């Protein structure tokens, strides 16, 4: 099978295809290198939610340095108070981090008979007033017949440690979401308060199979493993993570037969409730890989 990576000079979109027309992907370099379209093994899996705009949907955006929200954009770290921009004006929260709208550069790609790999990079040299640190981010997308992987690597290039959580925000399509389901193992769930702010973890009846039906979702579970399965009438997809501690955010947007299945390493307001929060030391790297595999 022959893979192609296409980038027109006038475009900031990378297209990845194969010779059998079973793979088609679009990566938007100016929108945080987000994978907004994916057809794999002939099935349309990931969508951009058009005509809704990317600035409101964050379709497939990479979430860093925080996944989800920070209440009022305010947090404390190492005995200092910080104020983030509140880009979610209606709820007065900071939402989904800083890199969803940054422009990434292609630094390497390689094509073989078995796969296509693309490495993208963004270097932050300016210190944000609410996050006064610099960092380097590399994303490696790998496409093959039945699998897509996304490796996220971040390096702290500043002289002080910083707090972080990570996440990925893809929207998946089903021809019949009502009759689709998810399989994951969890016995804990996040209690969410006003303005979708995470409060604390509560124990729940163990979950293995979750029927979507007509549920309107904006919920978060603590996963006992990084493995999730999305089962639709037409296809079955496994989603997994290399991270040790994993959370699952599910959200149903205002678009028929579409659901956001978001693997994250932390929860809403993690900069304050500390759930999943990690600290990256100066000159150190952290990486996580998310995998999508057709069953």
pLDDT score at 2: 84
Cα distances from 288 to residues 2, 25, 135, 180, 246, in angstroms, run 28, 21, 16, 28, 11
pLDDT score at 218: 95
Model pTM?
A: 0.95
Domain locations in the chain? Answer: 3-294
pLDDT score at 263: 98
| pLDDT tens-place string over residues 109-121 | 999 888 999 999 9
With residue 237 as reference, give the H or E element that holds it.
Answer: strand 236-241
As a whole number of angstroms, the distance between CA 197 and CA 195 comes to 6
Mean pLDDT in residue range 75-89: 96
Q: List phi, psi (to 5°) of 54.
A: -60, -35
As a whole number of angstroms, the distance between CA 210 and CA 248 comes to 12
With residue 273 as reference, give the H or E element that holds it.
Answer: helix 270-273
| pLDDT tens-place string over residues 262-295 | 999 999 999 999 999 999 999 999 999 999 999 8
pLDDT score at 12: 93
pLDDT score at 78: 96
As a whole number of angstroms, the distance between CA 193 and CA 67 comes to 17
| pLDDT tens-place string over residues 9-38 | 778 999 999 988 899 999 999 999 999 999
| pLDDT tens-place string over residues 142-189 | 999 899 999 999 999 999 999 999 999 999 999 999 999 999 999 999
pLDDT at 1 over 80: no
As a whole number of angstroms, the distance between CA 251 and CA 182 comes to 13
Mean pLDDT in residue range 41-53: 93
Helices (H) and strands (E) in the chain, counts: 2, 26
pLDDT at 8 over 80: no
| pLDDT tens-place string over residues 226-266 | 999 999 999 999 999 999 999 999 999 999 999 999 999 99
| Environment class of 169 (CB within 10 Å of its CB; exposed 0-12, middle 13-18, buried 19+) | buried
Q: Domain 3-294 is of which CATH architecture? A: Distorted Sandwich (2.70)
In a 3-state reduction of DSSP, which class is residue 103?
Answer: coil
As a whole number of angstroms, the distance between CA 76 and CA 89 comes to 21
| pLDDT tens-place string over residues 140-150 | 999 998 999 99
In a 3-state reduction of DSSP, which class is residue 70?
Answer: strand
Under a CB-based contact definition with an 8 Å cutoff, are residues 21 and 35 in contact? no
3: confidence class by pLDDT, cuts 50, 70, 90: confident
pLDDT score at 269: 97
Say how many C-beta atoms besides its own lie within 10 A of residue 69's C-beta.
Answer: 26
Q: How far apart are the first and last CA of the chain?
A: 20
pLDDT score at 9: 75
Where residue 33 falls (left for φ over 0; alpha for ψ -120 to 50; beta otherwise) is left
Under a CB-based contact definition with an 8 Å cutoff, are residues 6 and 15 in contact? yes
């Amino acid at each position: 099978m022959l893979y192609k990576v296409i980038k027109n000079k006038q475009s900031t979109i990378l297209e990845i295809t194969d010779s059998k027309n079973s793979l088609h992907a679009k990566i938007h370099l100016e929108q945080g290198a987000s994978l907004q379209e994916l057809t794999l093994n002939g099935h349309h899996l990931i969508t951009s939610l058009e005509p809704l705009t990317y600035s409101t949907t964050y379709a497939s955006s990479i979430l860093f340095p925080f996944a989800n929200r920070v209440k009022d954009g305010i947090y404390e770290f190492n005995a200092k108070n910080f104020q983030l921009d509140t880009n979610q004006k209606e709820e007065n929260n900071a939402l989904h981090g800083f890199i969803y709208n940054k422009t990434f550069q292609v630094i390497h790609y390689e094509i073989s008979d078995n796969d296509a790999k693309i490495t993208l990079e963004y270097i932050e040299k300016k210190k944000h007033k609410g996050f006064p640190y610099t960092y380097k981010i590399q994303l490696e997308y790998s496409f093959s017949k039945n699998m897509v992987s996304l490796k996220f690597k971040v390096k702290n290039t500043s002289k002080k440690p910083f707090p972080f959580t990570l996440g990925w925000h893809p929207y998946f399509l089903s021809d019949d979401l009502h009759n689709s389901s998810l399989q994951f193992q969890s016995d804990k769930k996040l209690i969410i308060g006003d303005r979708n702010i995470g409060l604390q973890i509560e124990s729940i009846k163990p979950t293995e199979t979750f029927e979507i039906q007509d549920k309107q979702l904006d919920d978060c579970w603590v996963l006992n493993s990084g493995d999730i399965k999305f089962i639709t009438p037409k296809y079955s997809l496994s989603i997994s993570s290399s991270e040790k501690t994993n959370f699952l955010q599910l959200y149903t947007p205002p678009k028929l037969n579409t659901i956001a299945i978001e693997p994250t390493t932390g929860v809403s307001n993690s900069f304050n409730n500390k759930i999943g929060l990690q600290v990256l030391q100066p000159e150190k790297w952290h990486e996580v890989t998310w995998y999508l595999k057709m069953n």
